[in-house]
Amino acid sequence: MDTLGKTITCLAAIAWKTNSSLSLEEVQVEPPKAGEVRIKMISTGICGSDDHAIKGIIPLKYPFIPGHEGAGIVESIGEGVSSVKPGDKVLTLIVPQCRECSACLNPKGNFCEKQDILPSSGLMLDGTSRFTCKGEKIYHSFRTSTFSEYTVVPEISVVKIDAAAPMDKICVISCEVPTGYGAAVHSAKVTPGSTCVVFGLGGIGSAIVMGCKASGASRIIGVDINEEKFPRARALGVTDCLNPSNLKKPVQEAVKEMTGIGVDFAFEAIGLAETMVAAWDSCHVSHGVCIIIGVSPPNSKFSLSAQTVSTGRTLKGVCLGDYKTKDCFPQLVTAYLQNKINIDPLITHQLPFDQLHKAFELYHAGKTIRCVLLF
């Protein structure tokens, strides 16, 4: 079928209003404009950020097509696009890399100023949408919207990857792997023999655990209120599991008792103020490093004892493992193909896209690390 320059009608998932279940609909996807790329999606993962968006925790404009952790093949390109061509295997990028803004130009920055997360416009860079359904404009999520058989993204939000990449799995390198694994190995730079605690043992937390283990951590404490996650977490490298709801003391006190004085590295992958404080309080007062990865609801705040800040420990927020997305994600794909990192244990379920609702049931029940939807 020749689709070049034509509007494509395909299946997509739409969130029509806050906290409603997704609706599978026929949508119209316009051709890419200048500086844009239209992608035929092959796989997409269900990430906590998508669930947060659907629930309204991350405010987006309704109705919208969710999804950001995606792998696909370029169907067509708009005028001026040079980094990808039709037929290329690509990953979608929730955080783009424009290579022009202050964040991109700084060696340590990766939260590109052209991102569409905080805040979200739900529109492409020119202020318009490429999706319609039943005659109504449908908004984009994070300028990726991977819960659709076809999507349109800016060129800065897509990157070409190795042609040998297995497209049914590689989508997790679009978010889960850099966000979790990267937080441990690239942002925190976990050291051999160190002690770590991970708050939240979902997809991102599981990837953090793998990163801590790969870095040679001697003890990894996993914290979660869902004990069904514990066997999988132990298989990935967790040495001790804690359920805060079963403790008669604050979880940070339990962590300090277990370690003697606190951990070397604490990771928060939940996005709640109280778990952020608990992660901070779990750190060694002198050299502990607290990494905040979880995305919080708008206007939420957390407070720390001012006296505890000057003792030497570090608090750091991390997005996508501090990786510059277009530069680094293809390198992660190559590392996987060369057996330098193993993403396979992070994917516990694969389902056809039309079984989206079953996939979300597994996610909400905590029965999956990452469920990948296949188109």
In the sheet with 131-133, reading across from the earlier edge strand, the strands are: 8-14, 23-29, 131-133, 136-140, 64-65
Under DSSP, the state recorded for 71 is E
Strand spans (E) along the chain = 8-14, 23-29, 36-45, 64-65, 69-77, 89-92, 131-133, 136-140, 150-154, 158-160, 195-199, 219-223, 240-242, 265-268, 289-292, 314-317, 349-352, 371-374
**Looking up tokens 């939000």, which residue turns up?**
157
**Contacting residues for 164 by C-beta, under 8 A, at least 6 apart:** 337
- Calpha distance 163→250 (Å, rounded): 49
- Catalytic, 68? Answer yes
- Active-site entry in 43, 68, 282, 371: 68
Contact between residue 317 and residue 179 where contact means Cβ atoms under 8 Å apart: no
Residue 74, token pair as written in the block:
């370029």
Contact 93, 329 (CB under 8 A): yes
Which residues, at least 6 apart from 65, have a Cβ–Cβ distance to it below 8 Å?
12, 13, 14, 15, 27, 131, 138, 139, 140, 141, 145, 147, 148, 151
Q: Is 52 a catalytic residue?
A: yes
From the list 49, 129, 174, 282, the catalytic residue is 49
The DSSP secondary-structure symbol of 369 reads: S
Known catalytic membership, residue 145 = no
CA distance 127 to 151: 16
Give the CA distances from residue 50 to residues 149, 173, 323, in Å, rounded to whole numbers and listed in that order.
17, 16, 21
Catalytic residue among 98, 112, 175, 196: 175
Active-site annotation holder among 43, 47, 187, 371: 47
**Tokens 């061509």, residue located:** 85
Angle at 238 between CA 236 and CA 240, to 5 degrees: 155
**Residue 13 DSSP SS3:** strand
Q: List active site positions.
A: 47, 49, 52, 68, 175
